[in-house]
Structure 1
Amino acid sequence: MHWITLRMRVRTPIFNGDDGAGLRPASLRGPMAFWFRALAGTVAGPDVDTLRRMEESVFGAMGAPSPIAVRLARPLPVEWEQRPQWLEYGDNGEKGPGLGYLLGQGMGSIVGGRYRLMRPYVAPEQAGLFPLRIGLSGNPAVDALALAALWLLCAYGGVGARVRRGFGGLSIEGVSDGAEHLKAIPWTAESLRSPGFDHYRDLTRLWTATPELRECAAHLPELVDLEKPGVFARPWNDDEVPTYPVLSRARTCAGLSVASNRTWEGLLAHTGTCFSRFRASVAATPATVHTTPQQGQAAGDDAAGAAPPTHPLFPLGALGLPVVYANGGRVGERRASPLWLRPVADQGGQWHLFSFAFHDRFLPGNPPLVETYKRRGPVEIRDCDVVELSRRWVEGMKGEADPQWQ
């Protein structure tokens, strides 16, 4: 096994459990596997058995350890402060609820009109640069794709809780040791660094055409052949809705915000305010269907929905579930938000919001039905709602610094 050491940086606070560990190798391997599937899905397509086999060849399975090793050279410092300084101020230095809105009820609660954290976190300024050791297997395909998964995690995702709302961001700042072991794979010490601001500026889709991923993606068929010769895996057709998140020209959208701020917390505070208004505008959208004329005129689709008819459309749910829902004592379907929000900094140190969404199938079933709190009968969330709302958000943030959603 050949080891390389990466210089890593925490970009936004990491919420990774309640035991004070801060960050573990397993906390990285899980998100790496998510982004590997998004990449491998460009080859495996609808064949999820092939997708599983490809993942196992890189990240291992029960009884078959991964050929790749991930080690943290030192633990990251953990903070327990309920009201840290970065939570004090919103956009332009004004106090506001935007950050608390993005953090949600799982990370804290409002006490005395102010949001207070209830979970430990890793603060960017305290963590500083930290070393991450990666043990390479010697198989060029496996090594190239494992590093591609880590690169994708740092470029677009994160670790821990609330990564889809801008938290848990990491970046690769360089290679401090073992760069000579990259010669056999399509990575260099420079290309492995997390992308700069120019990378995000013109992105409208998440796809494999970037220089960093193109050569790595060429190794994917090798995993298919190694694991299951003669497999009938194929790429997704443009007219198919993928059943899981996958990098795609046709089934993703992305964009960079006009709004910027000198700090990540200021940007996310502003983003939280915008997102709150955006969700409110979606909740007020008339979007209820009726199966018979006797059911009367359509009612507004708001989150309370006092007495909706059978099978009302519920576009608000397309931004992610749960939206406070229940069916008696039974919990229904869960679905993370398809919309991701990620702060990125430009060369001058100003932070912008990079938003993107995977347009995969929202929930199983045709149509998928979910029971929600205070609504009689199931509600329907359509794949087209995911596409429409995510594009509306992305285009709105690209077009105005402070969009007023109608």
Structure 2
Amino acid sequence: MYEAVFELETVTPLFMRGADQGKAEFRSASVKGVLRWWFRALAHAVLLGNVDENEAISMIKDRESELFGSTGRKSKVLVRVSFREEKKVDVRELGARYLSFGLSGKGLVGTAKVELLSHERRYLEIAREVSEVAFAFGGLGARTTRGMGSIQLLGEYVTSSYLQNVYKSALDVIGGYLGYGLNRTPNVELPEFPALHPKFFRVKLGSMLYTTPYGRFSVLSDIDRKFHKFRHSGPKHERFVKGKLISYWVTEQYDDVKRAYRGSSDVELPYSAFGLPHQYNFFSLGVKGLMIEGEVHERRASPIRFKVVRGSDGKHRPMVVYLKHRFLPEGENLKVRIKRDIRARGIPQPGYRDVERFFNEFPGREVEL
């Protein structure tokens, strides 16, 4: 039996649940699900431009099943996990009210062990490379795209060279497994699904340094402020709340969303490219829970991902990942609804202009992949 062991530490609290949704629990099934996702993204990158999309999907599904198992097919790699808890942190203590929207309860802080076991060296090597990428660029648990569940290998510091080496090594191994090399020609087209291809996968290490990863005056709170400010950079509004006048800023697409609520599909909703569904409330109209979704696909993950990492100087900084792929299938548009009442449909799906503007303006240095 061949074995690879990863010792991990939580940089920001990890929100993972088992059968009891009210109880934090570190689960092997959840970790395996994360490894599956990163394997698909790596495999898709290698196949991009080498085979057509349908063939790529078929190959990825078959190889993922071979590696991690499926109904009627035993996994070549066993994943075992354990967790040594140091403390639990309430979501309200993160200093990231905007990023943690929708989360509740307490997250785990401590160290984790992830063990990979296989009877064949080849499969263990592939799973190890996938794990290296998953732990370097991603996280574990809920809201990992928004900085929760940031993890790091014990004793490892995140630098540009570290990320470059992990990425290149994984592409080489996955390429050998699939029988293709990375296609870097300019004619590689935007993929339908996430692909860690250097043309569509960009990473930036932020320039802000903090001694604390989460809480008040931390990396996470700084990301929270920057992201909220960017998303709410529209005009200033005022309204009375319990007899008191308050001021607040709205998104640049605020007025267009209001027009869509009134039935117009002749609007632009570029900020919806940051992920669906997108919820709005118009208290002046007595409207709460207005949802922006795809006409068929109600949910779409954000192409922007945040992570908190620690460098060799012991300081913490943000890492921003921009993973560009087709936001919605060709021909699918957006709809606006309140519960079952569809207020507008046929709204053009957003482009990535504002997503790219956010990534480009975020202070830091891009990693050359």
> Which category describes the TM-score, using the shorter chain as reference length?
0.7 to 0.9
Out of 64, 72, 81, the position equivalent to 1:63 is: 72
8 Å Cα contact 1:44/1:50 also seen in 2: no
Larger relative strand fraction: 2
Shift of 1:361: 0.3
Out of 106, 109, 115, the position equivalent to 1:120 is: 106
Partner residue in 2 for 1:169: 150
Alpha carbon RMSD of aligned pairs, Å?
Answer: 3.2
Out of 193, 202, 214, the position equivalent to 2:168 is: 214
Partner residue in 2 for 1:155: 136
Do the aligned partners of residues 12 and 399 (structure 1) sit closer, same or farther apart at CA in structure 2, a change above 3 Å counting? closer
Provide the secondary structure at the position in 1 that maps to 2:343.
Answer: coil
Shift of 1:233: 11
1:396 aligns with 2:358: no
Do the aligned partners of residues 311 and 26 (structure 1) sit closer, same or farther apart at CA in structure 2, a change above 3 Å counting? farther
1:248 aligns with 2:257: no
8 Å Cα contact 2:68/2:76 also seen in 1: yes
Shift of 1:313: 2.0
Do the aligned partners of residues 51 and 234 (structure 1) sit closer, same or farther apart at CA in structure 2, a change above 3 Å counting? farther
- Give, as a single letter, the amino acid of the residue that structure 1 aligns with 2:158: G
Partner residue in 1 for 2:348: 380
Partner residue in 2 for 1:333: 298
Do the aligned partners of residues 338 and 71 (structure 1) sit closer, same or farther apart at CA in structure 2, a change above 3 Å counting? same
- Give, as a single letter, the amino acid of the residue that structure 1 aligns with 2:116: I
Q: How many residues align?
A: 323
Provide the secondary structure at the position in 2 that maps to 1:301.
Answer: helix
- Rounded Cα–Cα distance in structure 2 between residues aligned with 1:121 and 1:215: 32
8 Å Cα contact 1:332/1:370 also seen in 2: no
1:43 aligns with 2:40: no
- Rounded Cα–Cα distance in structure 1 between residues aligned with 2:336 and 2:181: 35
8 Å Cα contact 1:69/1:135 also seen in 2: yes
1:22 aligns with 2:25: yes
8 Å Cα contact 1:253/1:390 also seen in 2: no
Out of 192, 212, 237, the position equivalent to 1:263 is: 212
Partner residue in 2 for 1:4: 4
Structure 2, unaligned stretches of length 5 or more? 235-249, 280-289
Out of 277, 282, 294, the position equivalent to 1:322 is: 277
Provide the secondary structure at the position in 2 that maps to 1:79.
Answer: strand
Question: What do the CA deviations read for 1:136-176 (whole angstroms, capped 9, x no partner)?
Answer: 33242x222211221111111111111001011122226xx
Do the aligned partners of residues 52 and 19 (structure 1) sit closer, same or farther apart at CA in structure 2, a change above 3 Å counting? same
Map residues 335-374 of structure 1 onto 2, 5 A cutoff. 335-373=300-338
Out of 100, 105, 116, the position equivalent to 1:103 is: 100
Partner residue in 2 for 1:273: 225
8 Å Cα contact 1:41/1:235 also seen in 2: no
Shift of 1:131: 2.8
- Rounded Cα–Cα distance in structure 2 between residues aligned with 1:16 and 1:4: 23
Do the aligned partners of residues 264 and 55 (structure 1) sit closer, same or farther apart at CA in structure 2, a change above 3 Å counting? same
% same residue: 24
Partner residue in 2 for 1:197: 159
Map residues 176-191 of structure 1 onto 2, 5 A cutoff. none
8 Å Cα contact 2:219/2:318 also seen in 1: yes
- Give, as a single letter, the amino acid of the residue that structure 2 aligns with 1:320: G
Shift of 1:321: 0.8
8 Å Cα contact 1:165/1:341 also seen in 2: yes
Provide the secondary structure at the position in 2 that maps to 1:39.
Answer: helix
Shift of 1:354: 1.1
Do the aligned partners of residues 354 and 134 (structure 1) sit closer, same or farther apart at CA in structure 2, a change above 3 Å counting? same
Provide the secondary structure at the position in 1 that maps to 2:256.
Answer: coil
Provide the secondary structure at the position in 2 that maps to 1:52.
Answer: helix
8 Å Cα contact 2:205/2:364 also seen in 1: no
Shift of 1:320: 0.6
8 Å Cα contact 2:45/2:197 also seen in 1: yes
8 Å Cα contact 2:157/2:312 also seen in 1: no
TM-score when normalising by structure 2:
0.76
Partner residue in 2 for 1:144: 125
Structure 1, unaligned stretches of length 5 or more? 91-98, 108-117, 175-193, 204-209, 226-231, 287-298, 401-406
- Rounded Cα–Cα distance in structure 2 between residues aligned with 1:81 and 1:250: 38
- Rounded Cα–Cα distance in structure 2 between residues aligned with 1:234 and 1:151: 19
Shift of 1:376: 3.4
TM-score when normalising by structure 1:
0.70
Do the aligned partners of residues 5 and 248 (structure 1) sit closer, same or farther apart at CA in structure 2, a change above 3 Å counting? closer
- Rounded Cα–Cα distance in structure 2 between residues aligned with 1:304 and 1:279: 19
- Rounded Cα–Cα distance in structure 2 between residues aligned with 1:343 and 1:2: 32
Shift of 1:37: 0.9
